[in-house]
């Protein structure tokens, strides 16, 4: 499939199947079968006379990647500032289905505690501070669908594994606009998170401050919230009157 994409990308005009097969060193029937599957998924478009060209789905995926790279670039100076002010690790997480994926991190270097929030790491939405922000955004019905779909598995004894308790927690987050993870992903690690919104007002990421439990300070919540708001404004978000974290 990647070979076929490379061949199509090298030609600005639609290509006939015969030429595609020749340049990809694939048998025409094999190329035709793969192109059919790619066409169904939107990765290629079939034109008149059995020609093929790259599909709109690639543009959609490219825009997603572009927006994520842009977000990381915009967020990093603010993350470094928060890191300097607190001396603790700062994480940038984005939602991927039912999980949070950490796409950037500054390390405190102050603790031997192994923190799960490393670049590329994944964790369930309901156990992470940033993930809870996205569940708040989903609303009650979709949260219940999430709970039924995932079963709310626990990562530690402190993880929330009951829907009633999760809904109470989400109600608190909705009121205060910040979320907490208290040893719920990893014992000995606690987090504070606030949401980052783009110019359309969509929640696109969570900014979190992670610390060993013995250094955890709830009074850092306003600072985390303010930093997330700064990043949002840098992305073009026009905020409504702020809530008090």
- Tell which of 66, 93, 119 closes a domain: 66
Q: How far apart are CA 116 and CA 102, in angstroms?
A: 9
- Give residue 59's pLDDT band: very low, low, confident or very high (50, 70, 90): confident
- Residue found under tokens 């019905």: 141
Residue 181 lies in a domain: yes
Could you tell me which residue, 65 or 245, shows the higher pLDDT? Answer: 65
Q: Are 193 and 208 in contact (CB under 8 A)?
A: yes
Contacts 24+ apart (CB under 8 A), 100-109: 100/124, 100/125, 100/128, 100/130, 100/131, 100/134, 100/206, 103/68, 103/71, 103/72, 103/205, 104/72, 104/75, 104/76, 104/79, 106/79, 106/80, 108/83, 108/211
Secondary structure, 3-state, 217-240: CHHHHHHHHHHHHHHHHHCCCCCC
What is the domain range of residue 85? Answer: 69-235
- 114, 213: one domain: yes
- 77, 51: one domain: no
DSSP code, position 190? E
User: Which CATH number is 29's domain given?
Assistant: 1.10.10.10
Residue 241 lies in a domain: no
Asked whether residue 98 carries a pLDDT value surpassing 70, the answer given is yes
- 123, 54: one domain: no
Q: Mean pLDDT over residues 164-188, rounded? A: 96
Average model confidence (pLDDT) for the chain? Answer: 90
Q: Are 75 and 81 in contact (CB under 8 A)?
A: no
pLDDT digits (tens, 9 = 90+) for 183-236: 999 999 999 999 999 988 999 999 999 999 999 999 999 999 999 999 999 998
User: Which CATH number is 161's domain given?
Assistant: 3.30.450.40
- 97, 76: one domain: yes
Give me the pLDDT at residue 244, please: 52
- Read off φ and ψ for residue 209, nearest 5 degrees: -110, 120
- 82, 37: one domain: no
Nearest to 193 by CA among 129, 100, 136, 132: 129
Asked whether residue 61 carries a pLDDT value surpassing 60, the answer given is yes
Number of domains in the chain: 2
Residue 77 lies in a domain: yes
The model's pTM is 0.71
Give me the pLDDT at residue 157, please: 96
- 164, 43: one domain: no
């Amino acid at each position: 499939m990647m070979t076929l994409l490379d061949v199509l990308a090298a030609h600005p005009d639609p290509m006939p199947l015969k030429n595609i097969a020749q340049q990809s060193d694939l048998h025409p029937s094999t190329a035709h079968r793969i192109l059919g599957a790619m066409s169904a998924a939107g990765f290629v478009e079939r034109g008149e006379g059995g020609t093929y060209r790259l599909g709109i789905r690639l543009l959609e995926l490219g825009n997603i990647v572009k927006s994520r790279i842009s977000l990381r670039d915009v967020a990093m100076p603010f993350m470094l500032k928060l890191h300097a002010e607190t001396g603790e690790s700062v994480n940038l997480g984005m939602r991927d289905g039912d999980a949070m994926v950490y796409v950037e991190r500054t390390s405190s270097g102050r603790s031997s505690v192994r923190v799960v929030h490393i670049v590329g790491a994944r964790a369930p939405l309901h156990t992470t501070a940033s993930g809870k922000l996205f569940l708040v955004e989903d609303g009650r019905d979709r949260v219940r669908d999430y709970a039924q779909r995932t079963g709310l598995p626990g990562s530690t004894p402190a993880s929330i594994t009951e829907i009633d308790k999760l809904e109470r927690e989400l109600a608190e987050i909705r009121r205060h606009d910040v979320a907490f993870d208290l040893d719920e992903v990893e014992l000995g690690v606690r987090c504070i998170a606030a949401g980052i919104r783009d110019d359309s007002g969509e929640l696109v990421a969570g900014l979190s401050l992670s610390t060993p439990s013995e250094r955890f300070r709830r009074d850092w919540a306003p600072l985390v919230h303010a930093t997330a708001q700064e990043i949002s404004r840098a992305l073009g978000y026009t905020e409504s009157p702020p809530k008090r974290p």
